[in-house]
Every structure is written in C-alpha cells, then in structure tokens.
Amino acid sequence: MIIKSQKFSKKTALIYFGLCISLAVASFLLSYFGVVSIAYKEMPALAVLCALTLAAVTPVCLYLSTKFTWGTLLSFISVHVGLALFFTLYIGPYSPFTSLWAVLLVLTYTNYGRVGFFVSAFIFTAMSVQSVFPYKEQLDAEGSASFATFIVLAFILSAATVIVAMIFCLVLSNAKKTNKLLVEARRAESVQLNRLDTLLNSLSDTVLTLNRYGRITSQNSSALSFFDTNQSLVGKSIDTILDLQDASMQPISAKQLMESVKATLFRDDVSVRRGESEIVRLSIQMSKIQGTYQDNEDQEFGVVLIIRDITRQKTLEDEKDEFISVTSHELRTPIAIAEGSLSNLVFMQEKGGKPELLKKAAETAHDQVLYLARMINDLSTLSRAERGVGDVAEEVDVKQLVQDLFTRYEAEAQEKSLQLNLDVDASLPTVMTSRLYLEEILQNFITNAIKYTVSGSVTLEAHMKSGRIECSVSDTGIGINKVDQKKIFEKFFRSEDYRTRETSGTGLGLYVVRKLADKLDTTVEVESKLNHGSKFSFILPLSSDKLGTGKRASNI
C-alpha cells in the first residue's frame, strides 16, 4: 500500500539539496583525480548525466517538492538516479559508502511505504549487480576469482544492506504505531477529561477533591460561587475555608470527617455561618477515591467532597411541619366545639330541653361547620396555587370582572346597610393573567371589607396607573393598627382586637392573597388607620413572566 506523499518542508529540501551538491562536488573531484571505476572509462558520458542530475535536476525537483506533492515523487526519482550513477561511476558495488543507500531505503519507505521500499531495493540490487559486469574481462584475465563469485558477493552485500534497512523500517513502523496509539489514547483521555469537566461545571452543587492531607486538588465552577471568590481554591486546606457547624452549632473539622470515611459519608445536619446572622444549611457527601488494582492497597488518594445548599429545602420542611401543627390545632378547636354542641343537642333533646337552648346548640355547631368549610376552602385555594392549577395566563377583561364582582356582592352589602361603590375607568385594557387568582384576591378583599365594616361604605376601584392597572378595595371599617399591619399576611394570624374576634375567620385569607399576588408578579399594599377604615391595593402588570407555563412558581 502506497502512503500518500506529502510536500517537503524547506528544511528537509535543504538537507537533500546539500547532499546532492556534496555528491556533485565529490564526483567532480573524483573525476579530476582519476578515482573512477571501469564503468566511467567505458561510458564517460554518464558522468555528465550524473553531474547534471545531482547539481541541476534534483535541486529543481526539491524546490517543486516544497510547493506540490508530486514534486516529492520527482525528487525521489531524481535522487535515486543520481545516487545510482554516482555509485556505478565512482565507488563501485563494494565500497562502504553504499550503506548510504540504506538511508535512502528508509526515507523511501517513510514516504511511499512498502512499494516504494521494494522499488528502491530493486534499483539498488540491480545497480550492485550491474556494477560487476565492467570488471568481467579483468577478472577472467587475472583468474584470481570467478566472475560468478563477484556476482554472488554483490547479491549478498545488497541483501545485507536491504535487510538492515528493512529492520530499521520495521522498528520505525512499530514506533510510529506506538506513537499513534499514544496520541489517540491522549486524545481520548483529553476528550474524557473535557466531558468530565463539562459535567462537573454544569452541576449546581459544589464539588471538590481533597488529598489525604485535606488540601483541595480540584474544583468545579460552582465552588467559586459557593465560597464567593474568583481565586482558585486548589492547594488550600479545606478547614481554612469551610467552617462547618453541627446541629448544636458546635464546630466540625472537615478534615477529621474525611479521615473517618470508609467508603461514603453523608450528613445533612451541618451548616456554615455567613455574616453575623445568616445560617446556610448544608448537606455534605464524602466519597473515598479508589485506586486501581495495580496501586498499593495502603495508598490513600483522598476524597471527593460534594456540598449542597439545602437551606430552602430545610426551611420548607420546617414551614411544612409548622403548618401541619398549626392547622391541626386550628381544625381541632372547631371540631371539638361542634362535637360538644351536637352532644349537648342530643342530650337536651333526650331530656326534653328548651327549644331556644336546642336552637342555640345547633347554631353553634353550624357556625363551627361553616368555619371549617371556610378554612378548607382557603386551604384548597392555597393547594391549587402551589400545584399551579391556575398558573396558565389568559386574556382577562378587568373592567368586566370587577363589575361582575360588584353585582355579586351588592346584595350582601345591602343586608348590612352598607353602600357598595364601583369606580372603574371607562376604558381599561385586557391583561394576560390568571383569572382564577385575580378573582380570588378581589373576592377576599371585598368579603373582608364587608365583614369588618359596621357602617359606611365599601368601594371597589380599577384605574390605569403608569401603563398598568391598579385595583383596590377600600372601606370605612374598624381599620388595622400599625403593629398588626406587619403580621396580617402571616398564616393563621388574627388581630387581638375584640371587634375582629367578634367575627369568624380562619386567618388564612390574606396569607393566601400574598401567595397569589406573588404568582401574579405583584405586591399587595395596605393603607389603614385604626377606626378609620382600610385600603388594600395592588398594581396588575399587563402580562406576567411567572405565568404561562403552568409550572409551579418557585416562591410557593
């Protein structure tokens, strides 16, 4: 198989050029001093051809070899011709200088493979044998050795030169194959390392490798963000940059944890302090780095340390536990009251109790059932919001929605002798938002306003403000003191004001409103003065980035 030839570099061409000029000069000097073979004497014209080949033709071919790949082939042909003529005319087949042809054989193999090698070997053998023929008459006349003996000797010397060159070519070929395998292995290793780096750097978790002394040997990009630095962490001791604390806020040495690792260690009860008050809760995983079967079993390679910020997860778990605890308590109270009232009702009915007492017990139980229904409705609304049931935005006509709510609650306001007012701009644009969430927020404001207003009015408004729609519900009710204004959006919070306690409520309404407002990408504002009424308002964007995917929002 012929290897595809390549152009010569200028350096290679200069080396060949120097060799050819040297041979041309040598041929001139040898001719001048008469150090020539019988072939030269019989065919002196070949000397001119040899000189032209070495001094003119070959340099031209070498120049072309630096420009074109076919110039390389011409150069090799020219060198072969020139060298063959030089050996035939000047040094003969038995000169030690014929070993130079072995170098030419190797170079030919390097460029043209086995085919080039055997062609060059054939030329060399033919040249060696042919060089004996001019001496046939001299050998026969002297009778010192037979002509056939010199022919055989020429074959032997040629074969020896070719074999030496072949061995060298095999060694060179094996070296090239080995080098190629090494290059491919290094390339594959580089690809794998790049993939591993990409994988590690794509992780949001902090990943570090530590040596047996607890010093960092590598890191991923998230580590820089976690430790809030732009400088490399490599070479630093883990205990100097990671001040771990356990659940009781006692310091823990990461290096000591590393030394206790047998295979894998996992803990999610540790934390670090940032600043004076911020506590970041973490989970850490340490896995011992295993060596290969060829490594010493007693040799230690350190560990891989994975750090994950679980502050939000732990906070949600704590909130969940607190929510379940408080909800259980809030549900237990009305259930106990309803159960007691119904038990009294049954007892009084059996004993022939007074009708007014029976009615009071039934009304008490009914009120508690209604309270439970409202709480379950609020919890259901909160659950729907957390599951993203209403997250898909739709085109909503705010003016029509507000008018519908006004019509729906007008009769309820009149029952309490309250004036329900409607103040809406004549022209309001439609918005892309969640109708379910928007209606739930406005309903909550309206029902609270009617509930906590003894006399006066409740006003429902919708106006354009700075390119967005401001919705508000104001009343002339009991108002909210400044201390309670900071707490009204907390779950299960109810003011200690006796007027608030006189009305039933779950303490979940405004908590649900705050969560739904976050979904709508807005914030509820409160303006209130005790005994002078309240105003709840929010500015509705014409479209929300938090809606449209149907996915659960991150802040719920």
pLDDT above 80: residue 399: yes
- 42-71 pLDDT, tens digit each: 667 777 777 777 778 888 887 888 888 888
511 vs 527: CA distance, rounded Å:
17
451 vs 418: CA distance, rounded Å:
11
Structure-block tokens of residue 124: 């060399």
Q: 161 near 124, Cβ under 8 Å?
A: yes
370 vs 367: CA distance, rounded Å:
5
pLDDT above 80: residue 144: no
Confidence of residue 419 (pLDDT cuts 50, 70, 90): very high
- 180-221 pLDDT, tens digit each: 999 999 999 999 988 988 888 888 899 999 998 899 999 999
Confidence of residue 33 (pLDDT cuts 50, 70, 90): low
The C-alpha angle 128, 132, 137, rounded to 5 degrees, equals: 175
122 vs 109: CA distance, rounded Å:
13
Q: What percent of the chain has pLDDT over 70?
A: 84
184 vs 193: CA distance, rounded Å:
14
Report the run of H or E that residue 461 belongs to, with start and end: strand 457-465
223 vs 233: CA distance, rounded Å:
8
Q: 515 near 446, Cβ under 8 Å?
A: no
Confidence of residue 282 (pLDDT cuts 50, 70, 90): very high
More confident residue, 113 or 494: 113
Q: Using alpha carbons, select from 503, 516, 510 the residue that is nearest to residue 555.
A: 516
Q: Which domains does the chain have, with CATH numbers?
A: 10-181 (no CATH), 206-309 (3.30.450.20), 316-386 (1.10.287), 394-540 (3.30.565.10)
In the predicted model, what is the mean pLDDT of residues 286-297? 67
Whole-number pLDDT of residue 89:
74
pTM confidence score? 0.49
Whole-number pLDDT of residue 249:
87
Least confident of 84-98, 136-150, 346-360, 395-409: 136-150
Task: Compute φ and ψ for 45, nearest 5 degrees.
Answer: -65, -25
242 vs 307: CA distance, rounded Å:
10
- 214-233 pLDDT, tens digit each: 999 999 999 988 888 889 99
Contacts of 404 (CB under 8 A, 6+ apart): none
Average model confidence (pLDDT) for the chain? 81
Q: Using alpha carbons, select from 75, 169, 95, 81 the residue that is nearest to residue 124.
A: 81
Highest mean pLDDT among 112-121, 122-131, 382-391 belongs to 112-121
